[in-house]
Amino acid sequence: MAVIGYGVQGRAQSLNMRDNGLNVVIGLRKSTESGSGWELAKKDGWVEGKTLISIEDAANKGTVVLYLLSDAGQKQMWPTIKKYLTKGKTLYFSHGFSIVFNDQTGVVPPSDIDVILAAPKGSGTTVRRLFLEGRGINSSVAIYQDASGKARERAFALGVGIGSGYLYETSFEKEVYSDLTGERGVLMGAIYGLFKAQYEVLRANGHSPSEAFNETVEEATQSLYPLIGENGMDWMYANCSTTAQRGALDWYPKFYSATKPVFEDLYKSVKQGEETRLTLEANSDPNYRKNLENELKQIQKEEMWRAGETVRKLRPERQPK
């Protein structure tokens, strides 16, 4: 198993496969800078020159090449990787992005290899954490090309190998359309927009930062969302007060009507490749990392998240024992 890349997914999946007894090598550009993927991999126990090697050597050595660079990185490295994808090998992705939008990425695999996908439904941090807890994350699997006749079997086997607890089958297209929609929507973009809007309304009406954060974020993440995860939305409603139930049931249709057109626009933008264009354009900017850090710092500096830092420190489990 040759893992190309050591970002959040590459790191988690490679460590889980190693713990599952698979023969894994990591392919990276060598860098001695503190915080680099190469140095992090060494700290995780990968041995330089043996299990930690160059991208080219890893791609050449691996019978299964797990292509886990960023989407922009996959586009950039494809001319190099493609040379090593000889007949009988398997090319593995955790995102359908590069294949589905190959008109923009140029990623077109040779016809005599298997091309498969196992996509964890969560961050690499969660992939690793749930594996160590003995649970495993939900993942989707898909087949793009079955040259060997065993691609489906390999996809499911690798899904287990990377630490999945549950697997469901999809297609490369459906995986990337749903994934990009979810990230920009309910999973990340929309939920931040809703948090921000409610917090600002509460603050504008005289509520303290602590109260506004508790009623917007803390109660959601610490009390209510876990109930949804356990048994569904109706279960969460059933375990709240009658006043909360009535209000939620009365108001959700208004939020539904207000947001569905936004989601329809979002899905259209994803399917037409506009989100791909924007992503590749931004991530290819030589100043991308610096720009991203600035954007995240601006979020961190917002009053809502500064209030959140204080609230989290007050959680009982974080108090000195």
d(C-alpha 82, C-alpha 107), whole Å: 9
Strand pairing partners for 118?
Answer: 141
Q: Is 300 exposed, middle or buried (0-12, 13-18, 19+ CB in 10 A)?
A: exposed
- Give the whole-angstrom CA distance, residue 95 versus residue 12: 15
CA distance 4 to 70: 10
* Alpha helices for 148-302 (secondary structure H): 151-161, 172-184, 189-204, 209-213, 219, 225-231, 233-238, 242-271, 274-283, 288-301
Nearest-5° angle of CA 45, CA 49, CA 54? 100
Cβ-contact 212, 306 below 8 angstroms: no
207 catalytic residue (yes or no): no
Distance between CA 217 and CA 198 in Å, rounded?
10
Q: Any residues with CB less than 8 A from the CB of 284 and at least 6 apart, and which?
A: 72, 75, 76
Q: What gap in Å lies between CA 259 and CA 247, rounded to an integer?
A: 18
* Phi and psi torsions of 146, nearest 5°: -120, 80
Residue pair 282/191 in contact (Cβ under 8 Å)? The answer is: no
Handedness of CA 74, 79, 84, 86 (dihedral sign): positive
Amino acid at 147: A
Helices (H) and strands (E) counted in the chain, each on its own, are 18, 8
Query: Token pair for residue 262?
Result: 């936004």
| Active-site annotation holder among 95, 128, 154, 184 | 95
Which of 153, 99, 159, 163 has its CA nearest to residue 125? 163
| Residues noted as catalytic | 95
